[in-house]
Amino acid sequence: MQVPAKTPVERVFHALTFELLATIICAPLFSWLMGVSLAHMGALTLMFAGVAMVWNMIFNALFERVEHRYKLTRTLAVRVVHACLFEGGLVIMLVPLGAWWLNVSLWEAFVIDIGIMLFFLPYTFFFNLAYDHLRARWMARRALA
């Protein structure tokens, strides 16, 4: 059974779920690792989440168009490319924001972002793997009803 394309409402749900879970994990973790107050890091995490949520919806819509056009299957290789391209786009957008907020150089912000990416690459991969699996099961049950 081919799983139907995501609706705009589902895209928002997917992005909100992704960012909410990431924020719950990241704000306290990065606050502790960087020695910055939870409020200061929490605000940065929420700003990052907002940018990432918009990027998530745009990127996934474009990626799914490419998948459909070229009839790609979400193999391990396609998932790795998906995660790398998604995170690469975020680096371009978030490094300047992080540098400004943390009052550090672009290089320091880039190095910090590499550390963040070491968390988010597997997080993105496993979140989407789990989401796709649960969505396929839900769609299959819905088709039977």
pLDDT in tens, 48-97: 989 988 898 899 999 999 999 999 998 999 989 998 899 889 999 999 99
Average predicted confidence (pLDDT) for the chain:
90
The pTM of this model reads 0.72
pLDDT in tens, 99-113: 999 999 999 999 988
Do residues 133 and 88 make contact, with C-beta atoms less than 8 angstroms apart?
A: no
* H-run or E-run covering 74: none
Q: Sign of dihedral through CA atoms 80, 85, 90, 91?
A: positive
